[in-house]
Amino acid sequence: MIYTAEATTFMHSDKICDQISDAILDACLEQDPFSRVAVETIGGHNTIILIGEVTTKTDIDFADIARQYYKKLTNKDIGVLCNIVKQSLEISQGVNKGGAGDQGIMIGYACNENEMYIPQELYLAKKILKPFKTDGKSQVTLDNGIITDVVLSVQNKSQDELNRWIKKCFKELQNTDFSTYCNNTGAFTIGGFDSDSGCTGRKIVVDAYGPRVPVGGGCQSGKDCTKVDRSGAYMARHIALYYVKKLGYNEALVKLAYVIGKVEPVMAIVETKQANFEINQKDFDCRPQAIIERFDLRRPIYLQTAREGHFGNKDYPWEKI
């Protein structure tokens, strides 16, 4: 089988937007753990636009958070337009009863291919980006587990530098006879918002498990834990990890589905190569409030996930078995 996955640095335009959305979420949670937050960030070419819904007891200057965080990342000033309103009462009346903040399907996955328990092609794509702190993307193709192609584009790095890094990064592999494509246009000196626009949630496949694994459809960043796009995705990952790490399966795919305002999921299943079966709710309580309590999700912990990724970090509560 041939698999390909890509990854991005935290300085990629889309990931900058994810971080700004989660920086606003964390600021709200720091003062009011019961804040309801759904913030989208659009950025590019000297402008950031914030739009969404926030209900909180705090008095926060959302535009200033975005401005200051961007300044911290880039040492550049930027203009910010803000259009954030309170969450709809029609939504909150369902969430207040413990129901899901929206309908949707959440996917969790784990496999035993590496220490992060993610698909190997995504693991390698992330690995080669680790040292870089400018705008960058990578892509790795595997054919039956053997690397055939590596793409690496990093701002302000020469093609020779990147080629040398790839060889050093993969020196422990027996197969080094693969094609490399480094800054393949010939130059990459203009990056981030100076080069390209970004948007919260536009890298959901990178944030999840790569294209080998299906994606539920919703992003995590900018959303508080009552949104099952976030809490449900973390629970699904936790269950998948349990089947791989605790029960010894090679891989596990978990699917949860919710209805807005309804407490219990309408689907909660595990798929393995051996069998498919429903999740026992006594073992894994998938009600939104139960997930929030299990992982203590009302804390300001989300900026790190937008910056470093949602899965594979042993410090995250949903990663601990």
pLDDT tens column, 90-127: 767 667 777 787 889 999 999 999 999 999 999 999 99
Q: What is the Cα–Cα distance from 209 to 119, expressed in whole angstroms?
A: 7
CATH number of this structure's domain 104-114+210-308, picked from the four choices 3.60.15.10, 3.30.450.40, 3.30.300.10, 3.40.1160.10: 3.30.300.10
- Side-chain half-sphere exposure of 96, counting CA atoms within 13 A: 8
Beta bridge partners of 147: 142
- The CATH code that applies to domain 2-8+120-190 is 3.30.300.10
pLDDT tens column, 265-300: 999 999 999 889 899 888 899 999 999 999 999 999
Q: Please indicate, yes or no, whether the overall pTM of this predicted structure exceeds 0.75.
A: yes
pLDDT band at 174 (very low <50, low <70, confident <90, very high): low
Sign of CA dihedral 242, 243, 244, 246: positive
Please tell me the total number of residues recorded for the chain in this structure: 321
Q: Please, what is the angle between helix 288-295 and helix 228-241, to 10°?
A: 70
Beta bridge partners of 309: none
pLDDT tens column, 186-245: 999 999 999 999 999 999 999 999 999 999 878 999 999 999 999 999 999 999 999 999
The conformation of residue 264, written as its DSSP 8-state character, comes to S
Kindly state the percentage of the chain with pLDDT values over 70. Answer: 97
- In terms of Cα–Cα distance, which of 298, 287, 293, 317 is closest to 95? 287
Q: Between β-strands 104-111 and 251-258, what pairing exists: parallel, antiparallel or unpaired? A: antiparallel
Domain ranges for the chain: 2-8+120-190, 104-114+210-308
Topology alike, domains 2-8+120-190 and 104-114+210-308: yes
pLDDT band at 41 (very low <50, low <70, confident <90, very high): very high
Q: Strand, coil or helix: what is 84?
A: strand
pLDDT tens column, 299-321: 999 999 999 999 999 999 999 99
Distance of CA 233 to the CA centre of its chain: 10
